[in-house]
Structure 1
């Protein structure tokens, strides 16, 4: 069913926008796509060299929908580079090469540094204070290097929160497609070469700049912190073995 929508302009030919109602199967496809994409983003695909597979039939059963919207959602995710359908094998969640990951981390650095600047302009003091609470349990008696798994969770949440506090939906949307890869790489590198100990110092520098509403410093500290990860990935290709 097509519904004409009229705009208050002079030219009648230009004042009618014809929209087509969403069909139920399109709505299902969109919901399945969103659910599946979020599930993939939450996966830790870089923790093992083995490929990660998802099963179309199991997805259909767990989501309580037919296999048609599942196939359509998978096709959308394949176009975005999240998965690849392998004939007679299934659907593989795609990892990136070292070069691709380096470029993704560099892109994240640019986006997050802009987010840090926006936080100084848009976030309240109370919101900025939540960033510091993420690390309140860490200190000499509870070193990040001794509790890597715990610190890794706080680390990931810090970066996600920084993006959210920027108040920019565009930045949130742009980083969403990078998250599955950047987060995975952060998780597998944070416990190496005492990176956790340096990481918390850099995080606290970013937070201090945010608290002072020093946009230039917050942007610089955030960018340099993440670019340090891209350099590390570039120099340590063995993390992909």
Structure 2
């Protein structure tokens, strides 16, 4: 009877290796997709009641690529709900209904409260302190309500910075997909009903909780602040008229 074949040590090691394929080089499609998504996220589509259109030919010319990767990138963005291609009309950036926006803001509240928890664990004291610099220009002599556009920029920077302090790339990516709509609604509402004055108080309270490393308070303050925006949008349908 033949003895069992002995397996060499080199064969044993090879059998246990778990190999992954090399990541393919970035294609024109993924580069165009990233550039176009970034541009769309930074659009102010809720600043006008008219639909926002983007032109395939202009995109091709500005990016210096053929129309094929542009069409492929647009198809990816269409699957994600950012745009819609309409035959013989072009590519329309999609706005959301009031109920959809409310749900997006509620989702942002949940994601940002988790980001706050992670920021307390991972961010340094100087990084947290840097949040205060966003509002340093505002005070009695320079009231947020009197400088709504300026405050709106600081407001958006605050929320994006909070997400970034989590050190979670997944949270950054998930909120990026909400940013186009949440950002636009924040810009539209910040100058209404003296919301800016209340907003800066909320932000400073969140920063104080972060500085104390008070996770429970920071999470609650962050969540309540953003859910307040959701409730305001829910009560003011005229924003979407």
* Same fold at TM > 0.5: yes
Aligned to 1:209: 209
Instruction: Give the drift of 1:170.
Output: 1.1
Give a deviation string over 1:90-142, Cα, whole Å, max 9, x none: 00000000000000000000000111111111100100011011001100110
TM-score (norm 1): 0.91
TM-score (norm 2): 0.91
Assess, with a 3 A threshold, how the Cα gap between structure 1 residues 199 and 21 changes in structure 2: closer, same or farther. closer
Give a deviation string over 1:128-162, Cα, whole Å, max 9, x none: 01101100110011000000000000000000000
Helix, strand or coil: the match of 2:222? helix
Contact 1:8 1:15 in 2 (8 A): no
Aligned to 1:57: 57
Q: Distance between the aligned counterparts of 2:18 and 2:49, measured in 1? A: 56
Structure 1 runs, 4 residues or longer, greater than 3 Å off: 7-11, 14-17, 19-23
Aligned to 1:4: none
Q: 5 Å matches for 1:174-213?
A: 174-213=174-213
Aligned to 1:10: 15
Give a deviation string over 1:63-93, Cα, whole Å, max 9, x none: 0000000000000000000000011000000
Helix, strand or coil: the match of 1:182? helix
Q: Which runs of 5+ in 2 are unaligned?
A: 1-11
Q: Which runs of 5+ in 1 are unaligned?
A: 1-6
Aligned to 2:126: 126
Aligned to 1:3: none
Assess, with a 3 A threshold, how the Cα gap between structure 1 residues 9 and 20 changes in structure 2: closer, same or farther. closer
Instruction: Give the drift of 1:10.
Output: 3.3
Aligned to 1:35: 35
Aligned to 1:117: 117
Helix, strand or coil: the match of 2:27? helix
Instruction: Give the drift of 1:216.
Output: 0.6
Q: Distance between the aligned counterparts of 1:95 and 1:225, measured in 2? A: 23
Q: Distance between the aligned counterparts of 1:172 and 1:40, measured in 2? A: 16
Q: Distance between the aligned counterparts of 2:227 and 2:23, measured in 1? A: 45
Helix, strand or coil: the match of 1:140? coil
